[in-house]
Amino acid sequence: MESNITYSLILNKSQADYLSTSKYGFNRMQALVSLIDLTNTTEEEYKIKGFSVTIYVGQIVASEVELSHIWKCDRKTVSRVLDQMNQVGLISTIQNNRTSIHTLLCVASWRIDNKPVWNKYYKKVNDR
């Protein structure tokens, strides 16, 4: 049975304007929604080739190559979109030699089967 999931997405006008525009046929809002859908709503350990890190609620592990497959675009487009999402305060990205960890700043919480899951990384609009 599929879970009933809702989330609280809070945007300021410049973030909404950024997401509502499309350049070269690339849907930025759809890209953000895919990140939200892939984001951890539980804490888990991520391990790859001798590298290990804890991924917390509100974070996603995804390389630009992985996102290029999901978004069906080239890696340069993914890099540009992630940079812009970082600049407007939607996400925060940390890269290491194995992958990238993206942290959602614009999602306050999820409700999964009517149970709240809080994003400790959420930042109020004025703090982004």
Q: Dihedral sign, CA of 15, 89, 71, 115?
A: negative
pTM of the model: 0.89
One of 3.30.565.10, 1.10.10.10, 3.40.50.300, 2.60.120.260 is the CATH number of 5-127, namely 1.10.10.10
pLDDT of residue 4: 86
Query: What is the mean predicted confidence (pLDDT) over 28-38?
Result: 96
pLDDT at 100 over 80: yes
pLDDT at 66 over 90: yes
pLDDT of residue 23: 76
pLDDT of residue 25: 83
pLDDT of residue 125: 83
pLDDT at 1 over 60: no
Domain boundaries, the chain: 5-127
